[in-house]
Structure 1
Amino acid sequence: MKFIIDNWYLIFVALASGSMLLWPVLKNASGGSLTPARAVQLINREKAVVIDVCETEEFAAGHVGGAKNVPLGQLEERLPTVVKNKALPVVLVCASGARANRAVAIAKKLGYDNAQAMAGGLKAWREASLPVEKA
């Protein structure tokens, strides 16, 4: 007990550093976000389908290579025709990631259990120096 009282600051520093190390792990576990590198692995290894939920003009300005454009407002109606196999992984992308996160909820409601939003959207894709196509 004397050790704890005499070295409280060391214990505090150990707990603070441990919590800082765990924060990113806990943050990503709850968000379910997908990194661009992991998205590439899903595309190459598991034949994931990339759906860009941006508006048509944004999609034409630049998008992930091979992505199919289904604007967020039309996702519920058009996703079943674009991705017929609900077992395939679906990577949802938008400019920043906000619309893609909303799209995940819609996709899961439609039965696409492997739907994931790419964290950071097209911006993160570009920052990772991955190829962008223009229509």
Structure 2
Amino acid sequence: MLEQILEFIANHWVLSSIWAILLLLLLKTESGRGGSSISNQEATQLINKQDAKIIDLRNRDDFQSGHLPNAINIPAKDMQTRMSELSAYKDEHLILVCKTGTTASASGTVLAKEGFNKLHKLKGGMMDWKANNLPVVKGK
């Protein structure tokens, strides 16, 4: 099978090149959707120096089992109905946190459409945060 793919690429190098470029553009566009991805260190700096607000997009049970200090729990499924709770933070840095860092883009896109322009997504989400033994608050 690999030989057939390589043969196709060799015989159709222009088509293959266009496909590769389009794939790279799609990946670049999707990675920037809903805010910039930031590391744990960058998130900590934004929180400490810019007073960034943390929006935890996980469900209530996951949130109560451990979340970033001072995080606001607004599950991703409730984002549209609870938008008014975030209106006070429209011009502030918002760090969107989900379980693995992969689903924050969709919520970021919703917020961007509502005029939020300082959006950031935590790379690796809470799993990476906890794996690096960073501070976690349990309960409310």
**TM-score interval w.r.t. the shorter chain?**
0.7 to 0.9
Contiguous gaps of at least 5 residues in structure 2? 1-27
Give the aligned partner of residue 111 of structure 2: 107
Give the aligned partner of residue 55 of structure 1: 59
What TM-score do you get using the length of structure 1 for normalisation? 0.73
Residues 83 and 129 of structure 1, relative CA distance in 2, 3 Å threshold: farther
**Aligned residue runs from structure 1 range 88-99, under 5 A:** 88-99=92-103
Moved more, 110-119 or 30-39: 30-39
CA RMSD of aligned residues (A): 1.8
**How many residues are paired up?**
108
Q: SS at 2:127's partner residue? A: helix
Of the three residues 7, 21, 42, the one matched with 2:46 is 42
Q: SS at 2:99's partner residue? A: coil
Contiguous gaps of at least 5 residues in structure 1? 1-26
Structure 1 vs Structure 2: percent identity of aligned residues? 32
Summarize deviations over 1:18-43 as a string: whole Å, max 9, x none.
Answer: xxxxxxxxx7xx54311011011111
Give the aligned partner of residue 138 of structure 2: 134
Give the aligned partner of residue 78 of structure 2: 74
What TM-score do you get using the length of structure 2 for normalisation? 0.71
Q: By how many angstroms is 1:127 displaced?
A: 2.3
Distance 1:130 1:106 in 2: 28
Q: By how many angstroms is 1:74 displaced?
A: 0.9
Q: By how many angstroms is 1:110 displaced?
A: 1.2
Greater relative CO, 1 or 2 (CA 8 Å, sep 6+): 2
Structure that is richer in helix per residue: 1
Q: By how many angstroms is 1:83 displaced?
A: 4.6
Q: By how many angstroms is 1:79 displaced?
A: 3.2
